[in-house]
Structure 1
């Protein structure tokens, strides 16, 4: 995403941008998946978001609630957890255009519109990512240890170029008198005693400067979820029998699956025992192989 084109809080403008599927945007909406879609989505709910979890029995379940009571753990504490959801938990959540369109295609119903920020299309970063990813894939196929090196380059670039690492707090070393005055300031954030008469006082500045493109980080995170879920719902689910496999653990760029395959074969059988549409699977793999074959690496040769 490039520079911002416009921002709006008018529901009809937000709805039009989402429905037309022409603009690059980030929208803040509220919604849910209808119960008719639960059987298709429950194995891996497609809304990945951090939410606050209250330690109530109806939220965390009878077993965990009893465990906390038995061990005198704090019951009023709220924990923030990354969860997979079938609705926005009754609150507004932010999605980029690709992620939101995929959710809508899976049956997501938007019930309320809060805001939208529309951006110019910018592909300046794309050649670097494409070339580095292509080299990394070639290294994996060749069994080279350089694969980890290229992965580190991409990860480092994301952390440096797109994450906002600016400092939004100022820390001053003050004596008791200065600390007493500072803690009554409206921008006061916290105090830590250093010695008998010296305190570290953190203040929140009135203004802050950001030199990074925050929207690039937002789009990178949501695009990762889009490709992740798109591969599962529009490839794996269409060519594999869903009953014999179960999702165990998911990370940013990896997933762990338990497969009930052919008991007479070892782990190297992969998915062959649960393929239900061999033609569709071969077509998808062929398209991937063609994409790898036509990659242009001349820029780094």
Structure 2
């Protein structure tokens, strides 16, 4: 669904096909019938632009707009009706968001590791307990407990593990759900779609 949000109404006709080449490869690309222009980026680095030979246009514009409108509605619903009432927004900064994802800087507990999520900035614990797992994936233990009747019918241990994994993935991919993609201790966002996230391994 993520790719649908971004590409359904993308006008690919005006997109450029650009390749980075050294000086020798640049000379060879000049002989290509699709060659359009070049630009010197460094002493031995050139950006070569080619003319598009084909582009896809398989989605009608009404469907594209409907997908975008729906995604934005649920995105705003999540932010304003769930996230904002639940956490202390004085300790959370919205760095950047797109149609289907957001980047947040959370001023959590400095004594804990950076993977603490929202645990230290929760303002309304009751609201959190009632609504958190409507959006976020449930922990393995919760899924196991809730699915005990299904798991009891499976005798083999390996099959049980596979079933639990399947249920976890199913829960993570639930419609209109939210999942953590990356966590890091530092993020620098220079411009839209231009950011650097530090991840300690």
Question: What interval of TM-score do these two structures reach, taking the shorter chain for normalisation?
Answer: 0.3 to 0.5
TM-score (ref. length: structure 1) = 0.28
Q: Which has the greater radius of gyration?
A: 1
TM-score by length of 2: 0.41
- Higher RCO (CA 8 Å, separation ≥ 6 residues): 1
